[in-house]
Amino acid sequence: MADLLAPGHRGCAGCPASICVRQVLDAAGPNTICTNATGCLEVMTTPYPETAWKVPWAHSAFENSAAMASGIEAAYKALNRRNGTNKKPNIIAFAGDGGTFDIGLQALSGALERGHRMLFVCYDNEAYMNTGIQRCSSSPIGAWTTTSPEGSCSSGKTQRKKPIAMIAAAHDIPYVATACISYPQDLKAKVKKALSFDGPSFLHVFAPCPTGWRFPSEKTIAMGKLAVETGVFVLYEMTDAEPMKPIVTVKPKEFRPVEEYLQAQGRFAHLFKPKRDEVTLKRIQEDVDRKLKWVGLKP
Amino acid sequence: MVTKITKGCVIYNSPTSLGNKTGGWRTMKPVVDEEKCKKCNICWQFCPDSSIEPADRKANKAIKINYDYCKGCGICAAECPFKAITMVMEEK
């Protein structure tokens, strides 16, 4: 048990991104090279000349974390060939939801298609937190952000969340999984499994952000558990042996009502006050049920 | 802070963030009851600031909090299944 992310970084109290990195690196071990897209994680861990990373780490631009990781993998291949060595460090690309769902999508798609041996980890806090909580294609229906405000004509974001794990899986890559920082055993098992494949793998990590979602910092872990227990986020994995067939790894016995999850966060407060927004609440419930149907948890 | 900028902005002596003592951010402080601590290290898994020294079951050593860097988020106290950590007001 060794921490590969040092203290002293500037993340908010209760930050889920650093919890995600600590758990991923704990599973991957010190023989790892990381690349990092622009985002909260990059800004808070490495204000030059400070760095909190104890493994080799490099900052790419916002869009090309996956491209940089694939370059590192290709360089290792070339050096191994030239020197007759067989060095195979784990190569992990970190990106937030902005650097994965929106801005980094084409670099990610390219790297997955080229088949580099690397793991792409997306920590998903459902908005652009680093620049001040702007709407992202990962934000869920009804969520308040600064660019999807609530008011008399709007009840937060109107569109659905993009199913990024399914998009990654559609590239027919060896391994795709979703995980949550609240279930560290499950997350670490998935990281180890992902790194065992000789090809690209994708991990979508759900990371509840106290600052952007408007809840107290000590509830970061509880919020992740609540998301899984209400069916808002499903933990599953897919391999290319059975493409596009998700196998659920954490199955709640009974799903709790989605409203429990919504009421715990300030970004959904406008759905309940001053009066209940039945239309949006129904849309959210329908969307959750649809996604549960996809993975076979609801008939 | 004035520093000589290295070529390519490479940082050689990582981790250099240790100089930034984030303990000053805290308003509430976690206090460990060593008798209640079962050394399961669940809190260690969830600490965002790497501010918990893991417990050692063999040496019968409870977890220890590094107050130099703990930001007082309260996750450890909320997630401890044995209620061995309590949050108290920071007083100086």
Contacts of B9 in chain A (CB under 8 A): 48
Question: Is B2 a residue whose pLDDT tops 60?
Answer: no
Question: Which chain B residue has its CA at the smallest distance from A10's CA?
Answer: B22
Contacts of B73 in chain A (CB under 8 A): 13-15, 210, 217-218, 220
Encode A146-175 in three state secondary structure: CCECECCCCECCCCCCCCHHHHHHCCCCCE
Contacts of B21 in chain A (CB under 8 A): 8
B74 with A6: Cβ contact below 8 A:
no
Closest residue to B75, CB basis, from A51, A54, A220: A220
Question: Which chain B residue has its CA at the smallest distance from A20's CA?
Answer: B48
Kindly state whether residue B75 falls inside one of the protein's structural domains. Answer: yes
Per the CB < 8 A criterion, the answer to whether A18 and A11 are in contact is yes
Kindly state whether residue B21 falls inside one of the protein's structural domains. Answer: no
How many domains in chain B? 1
Per the CB < 8 A criterion, the answer to whether A255 and A204 are in contact is no
Per the CB < 8 A criterion, the answer to whether A5 and A52 are in contact is yes
> For B62-75, what is the mean pLDDT?
96
pLDDT of residue A1: 64
A50 with B17: Cβ contact below 8 A:
yes
Closest residue to B21, CB basis, from A8, A54, A217: A8
A153 exposure class (CB count in 10 Å sphere: 0-12, 13-18, 19+) = exposed
Q: Work out the pLDDT band at B87, boundaries 50, 70, 90.
A: very high
Domain containing residue B90: CATH number: 3.30.70.20
Alpha-carbon distance B38 to nearest alpha carbon in chain A (angstroms): 17
SS3 content of chain A, % helix, strand, coil (to 5): 40, 15, 45
Contacts of B69 in chain A (CB under 8 A): 7-8
B17 with A7: Cβ contact below 8 A:
yes
Domain that holds residue B64: 30-92
SS3 content of chain B, % helix, strand, coil (to 5): 20, 15, 60
pLDDT of residue A267: 96
Kindly state whether residue B71 falls inside one of the protein's structural domains. Answer: yes
Alpha-carbon distance B35 to nearest alpha carbon in chain A (angstroms): 22
Per the CB < 8 A criterion, the answer to whether A10 and A44 are in contact is yes
Residues 6+ apart with CB under 8 A from A79: A85, A87
CB-based contact, B79 to chain A, within 8 Å: yes
Tokens 């980890």, located at residue: A121
CB-based contact, B21 to chain A, within 8 Å: yes
Measured CA to CA, the distance from residue A126 to residue A62 in angstroms comes to 16
Domains of chain A: 16-140+161-253 (3.40.50.970)
Measured CA to CA, the distance from residue B36 to residue B29 in angstroms comes to 18
Question: Is B74 a residue whose pLDDT tops 70?
Answer: yes
Closest residue to B17, CB basis, from A16, A52, A222: A52
Kindly state whether residue B64 falls inside one of the protein's structural domains. Answer: yes
Which of A59, A217, A219, A223 to substitute to test the interface with B, most B CBs within 10 Å? A217
Tell me the mean pLDDT per 10 residues along chain A, length 299.
90 96 96 96 93 95 96 97 96 96 96 96 96 95 95 92 96 97 97 96 97 96 97 95 93 94 96 93 95 90
pLDDT of residue B1: 58
Kindly state whether residue B16 falls inside one of the protein's structural domains. Answer: no
Taking only the tens place, the pLDDT of each residue in B5-61 is 899 889 998 899 999 999 999 999 999 999 999 999 999 999 999 999 999 999 999
